[in-house]
A and B are shown apart, each in its own frame.
Chain A
Amino acid sequence: MNLSLLDPFAVAKEYPDTLIQTLAYGHSTQIRFSQKGDYLASGLADGIILIIDTDTNSTIQVLRDHTRAITSLCWSKCGRYLLSSSRDWKVNLWDLSSCKVIRSCNFECPVWCSVMNPANKFQFVAALVDNDPVFVDVENEPKITQLATSPYGVENPPRQSTLTVNFTPDAKYIFTGTSKGWLNVIETSTAQLVRSLNVCGSNIKNIEISPNSAKLAVNSSDRIIRQYTMPKLEVPVGEWEFELENRYQDAVNRLQWNALRFNHNSEYLCASTLGATHDVYIWETALGSLIKILEGSNDELLAVDWNYRKCWIVASTMDTGTLFIWSVVIPQKWSALAPDFEEIEQNIDYEEKEDEFDYVDEDDMNKQIEEEGEEVDILRREEVDARGFPFVDSFVIDSVPVSE
């Protein structure tokens, strides 16, 4: 509700520009905002997961079960469940109403990353060290399905392993990336490899699909992020077209990109850098031009996430695991403090209005009361906020006041 009362020009900004806060709550290795952006999960190097309330920026829950660095975090749509993977070989599903692990899967090898099925919180896909990726259903007894790594339709492909996995937003397909630069498409319902695309010759580190399913970005260790148009998922897989739109690289500094995120409507892409500079780069995706570099960190940046509703970008640093938060700063509107003040762009000659200093007597109030015929609806809520995001009631994680 606050947005509709703020300066519309400030609210209309689509990406953050100012460092507003740093949080040093342990050595963070992974961060992820809940769908609504009201909570931030921060996975630490020692396996602890912190749930941070983004209104107060204080930790409201501490989740302890992993004993090694957290490698990925994934929230359910409703905000009640969290999937975590760690180098201690485990993938855990947490229920945040009790803050306990409700399902756990041990893969007997470190887990690169795990992603929850957007359509079913009990299903996830995981990329494992030195093993093929797996699709797992933990609703009852864990049902583990091995997924293929060798590219589709290629004869005698070189030996490779899958390093990263992701779901399409509609949950129908799984995209995986291999150590030899192949992008594999797996159908969720059959767990069969249906399509492969050679992106480059080196490791694919991340596959990022925009929330609106319009764009796809592939980050690989050849220091290039390749941005494709997302194929229309309704058409048969064989007819899919991956059109390379943009290639993002920093030819001067030869930067490695660490993590990347699209904004909600895929108009912007941000990536954290590994190398000489310690910044987050933001590109405009239509033309591929660099529009903003978020500075302020004195350390290389690792994980990055974008909170669309609050217009925040958060990145964690490599050496200390401190979280850096960039946002838009909205100036105080001084006219808000006095209802009859008006802020004007330039000086204008003052002209007294006809009734400006007229004495308003009781009768006028009665007249005003008589004119109150307007229809009033106190029940129906606005559907979207001033940035266009729908108001949704999301899960509230219990927060216990600390004892002094």
Chain B
Amino acid sequence: MSKVQLQERYNKFSKAAKFNLNSEELFCVCRSVDDGELMVACDGCDEWFHFRCMKLDSKYKDLVNNFYCIFCNELFHKGSTLWKKKCRLEGCYKPVRIDNSTQKVSKYCCDEHGVEYMQNELLKRFSESTKECKLSEPEIVSVITQVDNFTEFQDLGKEMPIYQGMDVDLPEDKARRLDELNTELAELKQLEQLYVAKEKYMVKLKEKIKLINEKLAGSETGAQTKKSKKPKVDVCGYDSRLIMNNERWSEFEGSDEYKKMLQDVDLGMSDDQLKSAYEESQPVLGLCMVEKKKCIKHATWFSIQYDTVMLKLNEILYKIAEVEKTKSRLDREWNLEKIEQQSI
């Protein structure tokens, strides 16, 4: 109905007589007397309307929460009709029960209807889809009677059952796959160790460079005590052993050279030796002795190498996690397979 039509109808309705010739009150859009037919009052204008005239099915009478007539709703937008939630049982048009104290909303009007609904539902599933429901009736009964209470029943299937029968040998293909995964894991763990050691080495290396810088600065101030300003020494300190491949690095880890690098104080040379090496830019302990600012090619070498080590380490840890995940998946699959075998 268009807005104009509706307005016209409302005008007609509002101007119509309120009483008939017998002084009986008239109701609804049909302007007839109250003959006991089902009516509902509008919450917008307090007028009474027939269910029939409002095109409402009388079986919904218990479900009306708020009612707004067509004029209040569509013309004046005072509100629209609200319905209560219907009982889930087919054919029941009573509103659902609401617990007064807890305000919890049920799905049914009463307990009886709840039980009836569930019964119907179960019957329906059994009758129409025996193919889908692989469990037979006695099986379902045995499952239900196995548990003590409702929570236990709800918890069924939450956890993977664990096979508890006789030991069964892993089939060949699965055993091979598991072997492969274990070998891979061992290799990865070894690599992880290598990079962890490399990271530790780099931390030590930093200390070593600091020590060299201090010694150089110290020796220089010793020679030039007159000068008020300490000449600051900051060597590049790049260690080319950091870029060795894993094989050679492992070799290096076992060498005396490596142990020397990890020692705390001793540089293994006199201060004079150190000083002359610095002046001639000769490497000390395999470290680049060029002044940091002048060493363009090794600029920011520490952070580059450190990031590389950390990237590798993260990558290895990720791979380890992946392999573990695959392993546990294989485990689960095999467990299930055994249980299925057992139940047959």
Contact = CB atoms under 8 A, between A and B. Distances in A.
A130 B297 contact: yes
A88 B299 CA distance: 10
Contact of B298 (A68, A87, A106, A108): A108
A108 B315 contact: no
Interface stretch (B90-98, B206-214, B303-311): B303-311
A89 B304 contact: yes
Interface string A95-110: 0000000000010111
A282 B299 CA distance: 38
Contacts of B297: 108-110, 128-131
Nearest to B240: A108
Contacts of B243: 89, 106, 108
Interface in A78-122: 87-89, 106, 108-110
A232 interface: no
Interface string B288-314: 000000001111000010011001000
Interface in B285-344: 296-299, 304, 307-308, 311, 315
A87 B307 CA distance: 13
Contacts of A108: 238, 240, 243, 297-298
A254 interface: no
B311 A130 contact: no
A89 B308 CA distance: 11
B241 to A, nearest CB: 11
A89 B238 CA distance: 13
A131 B295 CA distance: 12
A67 interface: yes
A109 B298 CA distance: 6
A65 interface: yes
A247 interface: no
A88 B298 contact: no
A64 interface: yes
Of the listed residues B297, B298, B315, the one surrounded by the most CB atoms of chain A closer than 10 A to its CB is: B297
Interface string A294-318: 0000000000000000000000000
Interface string B219-248: 000000000000000000010100100000
Interface residues of B, number: 12
Nearest to A110: B297
Given A106-B243, A108-B240, A108-B243, A67 B307 contact: yes
Interface string A123-146: 000001111000000000000000
A130 B296 contact: yes
B205 to A, nearest CB: 16
A44 to B, nearest CB: 14
Contacts of B307: 67-68, 88
A64 B311 contact: yes
Contacts of A130: 296-297
B308 A67 contact: yes
A67 B298 CA distance: 15
Contacts of B311: 64-65, 67
Nearest to B244: A106
A129 B297 CA distance: 6
A240 to B, nearest CB: 33
Given A64-B315, A106-B243, A108-B240, A129 B308 contact: no
Contact of A68 (B240, B296, B304, B315): B304
B159 to A, nearest CB: 24
A129 B240 CA distance: 17
Nearest to B297: A109
A25 to B, nearest CB: 19
Contacts of A67: 304, 307-308, 311
B60 to A, nearest CB: 42
A324 B308 CA distance: 31
A219 B315 CA distance: 40
B239 to A, nearest CB: 11
A220 B240 CA distance: 34
A94 to B, nearest CB: 15
B310 to A, nearest CB: 8
Contacts of B304: 67-68, 87-89
Of the listed residues A67, A68, A109, A129, the one surrounded by the most CB atoms of chain B closer than 10 A to its CB is: A67
Nearest to A67: B307
A307 B336 CA distance: 52
A67 B304 CA distance: 7
A87 B301 CA distance: 10
A95 to B, nearest CB: 17
A88 B308 CA distance: 8
Of the listed residues B238, B296, B298, B304, the one surrounded by the most CB atoms of chain A closer than 10 A to its CB is: B304
Interface string B108-151: 00000000000000000000000000000000000000000000
Interface string A326-341: 0000000000000000
Nearest to B299: A110
Interface string B241-260: 00100000000000000000
Contacts of A129: 296-297
Contacts of B238: 108
Contacts of B240: 108
Contacts of B308: 67, 88
Nearest to B238: A108
Nearest to B243: A106
Nearest to B307: A67
A128 B297 CA distance: 9
Interface string B39-67: 00000000000000000000000000000
15 contacts: A65-B311, A67-B307, A67-B308, A67-B311, A89-B304, A108-B240, A108-B243, A110-B297, A110-B299, A128-B297, A129-B296, A129-B297, A130-B296, A130-B297, A131-B297
- The 8 A-B residue pairs with the shortest CB-CB distance in the complex, in nearest-first order: A109-B297, A67-B307, A106-B243, A130-B297, A130-B296, A88-B304, A67-B308, A67-B311
Given A68-B307, A129-B296, 17 more contacts: A64-B311, A64-B315, A67-B307, A68-B304, A87-B304, A88-B304, A89-B304, A108-B240, A108-B297, A108-B298, A109-B296, A109-B297, A109-B298, A110-B297, A110-B299, A128-B297, A130-B296
